[in-house]
A = this chain, B = another copy of it.
Amino acid sequence: MTEKKWTLKSIAAHLGVSNATVSNAFNRPDQLSSKKREEILAACKALGYFGPNKAARSLRKGTFNIVALVLPDSVEYMVSDPVASSFMRGVAKVLEPQGINLLLFSGNTDSVNNIVDFVDGFICYGRPRNPKLIEQLATVTKQVVTVDFELQDQASVNIDNQGAAREVAKAALMQFNAPAEQADAAILGLRLLDTDLICRVYDHHLPKLSTSIAHQRLAGYRQALEACQVTLPEDRIWNIPESSERFARIAAKEALAIRPRPNVLLCMSDLIALAAAREALAQGIQIPQELKIVGFDGIDEAELFQPTITTIHQNSENKGEQAASLFIRKEKRQIRLPFELRVGQSI
């Protein structure tokens, strides 16, 4: 039983060599004879010393092998979002083989202060809920990669959210043969407003200019509506605070209660689209005959559902891989990833 807690120093003393020698044995093989190195390593192993203390080494070197994954919202919430999960999977896939660990960080937090000294940098998946965080991340000296939003001239990974939203909305709206058939649209938006409420979104609520993906998608929908000459009454946009079945269903219920009942639902996530579809079916509304629904993201469940959901498929896992690669290579590029319109049975 080796109860003693070894340190580099104590080990060196015990072995009768200097601490630099032990340090070199672990970190710089070229600095000592390989024979001596082997000896030392073996002795350390036998004694139960597993190498230099990583916290101390990090303090000294300034590197940590930890990157903070800044989530838009609380960890609690993000972990159950399939799109975020795919993204994390992509990130982990690239980082794990490099021996880099992932620290989950909530976008609700007031400050990165508690972790900034522990990590090599940040990968931010979506604009953090708390604006203070954004300010800080903009001034931080460590590396930052942003995803689905931009920050000064940091590296970033994006898709053309506006263009994608326009395409998917168009796909739905083109199903109508105006003027014989009239499209009545409603938009189920995801985090259009900075609130936890499910509510209507009126024009005066919206910021003039925003780079958040929700607003970009909204702009895309609007372009499509305009192109198809469909006017959207101002009470036809909902805010859903998080992409959950429960919240989405409530909003869907509200939207379907309006008269004339909307016959197109533009949903900012597949989870929302699925919830809306379930609500509609539960009310006996036929999809797509009486109601067309489109989603966004391209999650598996939307393809397994009946009817399959028309959506914009984006490869979230790849997004994660790209972000992690940028991070590792310390590149400061902006990457724009492709998306793909997937037409299902829901329109």
Contacts and interface: CB of A to CB of B under 8 A. Distances in A.
A245 interface: yes
Contacts of A118: 54-55, 58, 64, 66, 118
A99 interface: yes
A56 B116 CA distance: 12
Nearest to A94: B76
A56 B59 contact: yes
A80 interface: yes
Interface in A70-108: 74-77, 79-80, 82, 85-86, 88-89, 92-93, 96, 99, 101-106
Contacts of A55: 55, 58-59, 64, 117-118
A304 interface: yes
B245 A300 contact: yes
B74 A79 contact: no
A125 B221 CA distance: 43
B99 A114 contact: yes
Contacts of A106: 92, 96
B80 A92 contact: no
How many protomers of this protein does the assembly include? 2
A11 to B, nearest CB: 15
A88 B79 contact: yes
B114 A102 contact: no
Contacts of A99: 114
B74 A96 contact: yes
A182 interface: no
A9 interface: no
Given A55-B58, A104-B92, A117-B54, A79 B75 contact: no
Nearest to A71: B92
Contacts of A54: 113-118
Contacts of A300: 245
Contacts of A50: 111, 113
Interface in A45-63: 50-51, 53-56, 58-59
Interface string A13-24: 000000000000
A89 B5 CA distance: 35
Which residue, of A53, A55, A117, has the highest number of chain B Cβ atoms within 10 A? A55
A86 B76 CA distance: 8
A141 B106 CA distance: 28
Contacts of A66: 103, 115, 118
22 contacts: A50-B111, A51-B113, A54-B116, A54-B118, A56-B59, A59-B59, A65-B114, A66-B118, A75-B96, A76-B92, A79-B85, A79-B89, A80-B82, A80-B86, A99-B114, A101-B104, A101-B105, A101-B114, A101-B115, A245-B300, A278-B304, A301-B301
Interface of A: 5, 50-51, 53-56, 58-59, 64-66, 74-77, 79-80, 82, 85-86, 88-89, 92-93, 96, 99, 101-106, 111, 113-118, 141, 245, 278, 300-301, 304
Given A79-B89, A102-B103, 9 more contacts: A54-B115, A54-B118, A55-B58, A55-B59, A58-B118, A65-B114, A66-B103, A74-B92, A75-B96
* A-B pairs with lowest CB-CB distance, top 6: A75-B92, A54-B117, A76-B92, A55-B117, A102-B104, A79-B88
